Amino acid sequence: MLDADGSTDPAEIPRYVDALLQGAHFAKGSRFLAGGGSEDITRFRSLGNRGLVRLANVGTGARYTDLCYGYNAFWRACLSTLGFDRDRAAAASDSMQWGDGFEIETLINIRAAQAGLKVVEVPSFEHSRMYGRSNLNAFVDGFRVLRTIATEAWGRRASGEQVASENVIDLTASISDTSHGASAERPAVSASWMQAPF
C-alpha cells in the first residue's frame, strides 16, 4: 500500500519486503523512526498524531510510533484477519463505509494489533506530493481517527470483545516462499512487537 500522489518512494519497497521475509506479518511505515521523516506533515498534525498514537497504543497494547501513514505491506493471508469483507457486507451502499476515509490506516493498525499479528515498523520518508491537492482536514479527519480508536480499540476493550480465534491466521501454513518454490518456515502468529533494524 502506498499513496498515489508521489509522496511515498517506491525505492523503499525492499525494506518492507525484507521485513516480511524475516517473519513479520505486517510491515508498517513510520515517519517517526530514525531514518524516517516528512516534508508534508505540519507541527499541528504531528502533535495530533502523537496523541492519537498514545490512545491507540494504550487501547491495544501496541507500540506504534506512527498511526496515520499509508505506506504498508502485508501478506495477502492477513486480509481475512482485518475483517473488511464483514464491514462491507454490514454497511448500506448509500451510507459512509467504515474506514473509507483518512482513518483507514488507523483501522488497519488497530485490527492488526488486536489479531496479534507480528508488526514491524519500517522507517519511511514522506516527500512533498508530486500530484494533486490534499483533501485532508486536520479537525474533521482527526475526529474520524479518534472515533475509530474509540470504537475499535477502547469500545471493544471495554466490552471484552475479542477477535475471533478463527480469524487469527497462522502464517506458517498459509505463506509459501515463492522465490524458492517451497514452503518457508514462518513463525506462527504471536503478540510480539518489534522495530525493524533498518
Q: Model confidence over 155-164: pLDDT tens digits?
A: 765 555 554 4
Cβ contacts of 141 within 8 Å, gap of 6 or more: 101, 102, 103
- Can you give the residue range of the structural domain that contains 61? 10-195
pLDDT exceeding 90 applies to what percent of the chain? Answer: 39
Helices (H), 83-137: 84-90, 104-114
Per-residue confidence (pLDDT) for residue 181, from 0 to 100: 38
Per-residue confidence (pLDDT) for residue 119, from 0 to 100: 95
Residue 3 domain-assigned (yes or no): no
**Number of folded domains in the chain?**
1
Per-residue confidence (pLDDT) for residue 79, from 0 to 100: 86
What angle (nearest 5°) sits at the alpha carbon of residue 60, between those of residues 22 and 141?
A: 100
Per-residue confidence (pLDDT) for residue 98, from 0 to 100: 63
Residue 1 domain-assigned (yes or no): no
Residue 5 domain-assigned (yes or no): no
Per-residue confidence (pLDDT) for residue 102, from 0 to 100: 79
Residue 4 domain-assigned (yes or no): no
Q: State CA 156 to chain mean position distance.
A: 18
Residue 137 domain-assigned (yes or no): yes
Per-residue confidence (pLDDT) for residue 84, from 0 to 100: 74
Per-residue confidence (pLDDT) for residue 113, from 0 to 100: 93
Q: Which residues of the chain have pLDDT under 50?
A: 163-169, 172-198
Residue 34 domain-assigned (yes or no): yes
Residue 18 domain-assigned (yes or no): yes
Residue appearing with cell numbers 518489534: 194
Per-residue confidence (pLDDT) for residue 117, from 0 to 100: 94
